[in-house]
Chains A and B, each alone.
Chain A
Amino acid sequence: MYRLQRDESDLAMMKAFEVSNEDFSSAGTASSKIKKILRQIGMDAGVIRRIAIATYEAEINVAIHSNGGHIEVYIKSDKVDIYVEDTGPGIADINLAMQKGYSTATKEIRELGFGAGMGLPNMEKCCDDFYIESVVDEYTAIKMTFNL
Chain B
Amino acid sequence: MKIIDLVNHEDFKLISKISQTEREIAGVECCDLLSWVMANGQEGEAWITVQIHSNIVAVATLLDFSCIIVPENIEVDAEVIEKATDEDIPVFSTQLDAYGIFKVFYEAGI
Interface residues of A (CB under 8 A from B): 24-29, 31-32, 35, 49, 52-53, 56-57, 60, 112-114, 116-119, 122, 125
Partner of A116, one of B34, B49, B58: B34
Q: Is B4 at the interface (CB under 8 A from chain A)?
A: no
* Contacting residues, chain B, for A57 (C-beta < 8 A): 35, 38
Add 20 more A-B contacts to A52-B62, A52-B63 (CB < 8 A). A25-B53, A25-B55, A26-B53, A28-B55, A28-B61, A32-B62, A49-B43, A53-B39, A53-B62, A53-B63, A56-B58, A56-B62, A60-B34, A60-B55, A114-B34, A116-B34, A118-B33, A118-B35, A118-B38, A118-B39
* Contacting residues, chain A, for B33 (C-beta < 8 A): 113, 116, 118
* Contacting residues, chain B, for A125 (C-beta < 8 A): 39
* Contacting residues, chain A, for B101 (C-beta < 8 A): none
Interface residues of B (CB under 8 A from A): 32-36, 38-39, 43, 49, 51, 53-55, 57-59, 61-63, 83, 87
Task: From B35, B43, B57, B83, name the one whose CB has the most chain A CB atoms within 10 angstroms.
Answer: B35
Partner of B61, one of A24, A27, A35, A119: A35
Alpha-carbon distance between A52 and B60 when the two chains are bound, in angstroms:
11
Binding site of A, secondary structure by majority: helix, strand, loop or mixed?
A: helix
* Contacting residues, chain B, for A119 (C-beta < 8 A): 35
Q: How far is the CB of A60 from chain B (nearest CB, A)?
A: 8
| B38 adjacent to A56 (CB under 8 Å) | yes
* Contacting residues, chain A, for B32 (C-beta < 8 A): 113
A sample of 8 inter-chain contacts (CB < 8 A) reads A25-B55, A26-B55, A28-B58, A28-B62, A57-B38, A113-B32, A118-B36, A118-B38
